[in-house]
Amino acid sequence: MRKLTKQQHQAVSAKEPEGRGGLVATLLEPTLVVEGRILEVLSGFGLAHFATDENVMYGINRQTTGVNFVQLREGQRLRCEVVPQFARVPHAELIAERA
């Protein structure tokens, strides 16, 4: 896991739609970038769980920026910005599988 640089954080924050109430982590909240695989998608609840390569589990929901929730499938890989203090995932993106 690695921490975001100030420039990376600003790039992620710039992608956030206006009016979201500042859901992307602020510079006061240390963030990590983690990668993992989706374990389950609970469409009815708008929630998906994924496990990192270090076997730490997190959840994302319909409001998580960077991913289209309806396109999430079990087994896909994600790269996520995580606020470890609160186990919050303000931003996630799908990682293309290598052939």
Asked if 33 contacts 2 with a C-beta cutoff of 8 angstroms, the reply is yes
Q: What is the pTM of this model?
A: 0.68
For residue 11, give the H/E element and its range: helix 6-14
Between residues 88 and 22, which one has the greater pLDDT? 88
- Confidence at residue 82, expressed as pLDDT on a 0 to 100 scale: 92
pLDDT digits (tens, 9 = 90+) for 5-17: 666 666 655 554 4
Asked if 42 contacts 74 with a C-beta cutoff of 8 angstroms, the reply is no
Share of the chain above pLDDT 70, in %: 69
- Name the CATH superfamily for 2-95: Nucleic acid-binding proteins (2.40.50.140)
- Confidence at residue 84, expressed as pLDDT on a 0 to 100 scale: 83
For 15-39, give the DSSP string.
TSPTTS-S-SPPTTS--EEEEEEEE
User: Letter for the amino acid at 84?
Assistant: P
Dihedral angle over CA of 14, 55, 61, 22, nearest 10 = -30
The whole-chain average pLDDT of the chain stands at 81
- Confidence at residue 4, expressed as pLDDT on a 0 to 100 scale: 59
The answer on pLDDT for 64 being more than 60 is: yes
Q: Where exactly are the structural domains of the chain?
A: 2-95
